[in-house]
Amino acid sequence: MYLVKVYVTYKESVLDPQGEAVKGAVHRLGYQDVTSIRIGKYFEIKVAALDEKTETDVQREIEAICDKLLANVNMETYRYEISLLEEVSV
Amino acid sequence: MYLVKVYVTYKESVLDPQGEAVKGAVHRLGYQDVTSIRIGKYFEIKVAALDEKTETDVQREIEAICDKLLANVNMETYRYEISLLEEVSV
Burial of residue B1 (number of CB atoms within 10 Å: 0-12, 13-18, 19+): middle
d(CA B27, CA B32): 5
Considering only CB atoms, A46 lies closest to which of B22, B35, B61, namely: B35
Which of B85, B66, B86, B84 is closest to B76 using CA atoms? B66
With beta carbons under 8 A apart, name residues in chain B contacting A53.
Answer: 33
Are A30 and B68 spatial neighbours (Cβ–Cβ below 8 Å)? no
B52 CB-side CA count, 13 A: 0
**For the segment B12-30, what is each residue's pLDDT rounded down to a tens digit?**
899 999 999 999 999 999 9
Percent residues over pLDDT 70 in chain B: 96
SS3 A1: coil
Considering only CB atoms, A47 lies closest to which of B35, B45, B48, namely: B35
The pLDDT score that the predictor gives to residue A88 is 62
The pLDDT score that the predictor gives to residue B51 is 75
With beta carbons under 8 A apart, name residues in chain B contacting A14.
Answer: none
Which of A66, A64, A57, A62 is closest to A46 using CA atoms? A62
CATH topology of domain A2-14+40-84: Mth169; Chain: A , (3.30.1280)
Question: What residues does each domain of chain A span?
Answer: 2-14+40-84
Residues in chain A with pLDDT < 50? none
The pLDDT score that the predictor gives to residue B89 is 59
Q: Residue A44 and residue B37: Cβ atoms within 8 Å?
A: yes
Considering only CB atoms, A34 lies closest to which of B7, B40, B47, namely: B47
Rg (Cα) of chain B, in Å, rounded? 17
List residues bridging with A71 in a β-sheet. Answer: none
d(CA B50, CA B38): 37
d(CA B57, CA B45): 14
With beta carbons under 8 A apart, name residues in chain A contacting B34.
Answer: 45-48, 65
Q: Minimal Cα distance from A12: which residue of B?
A: B44
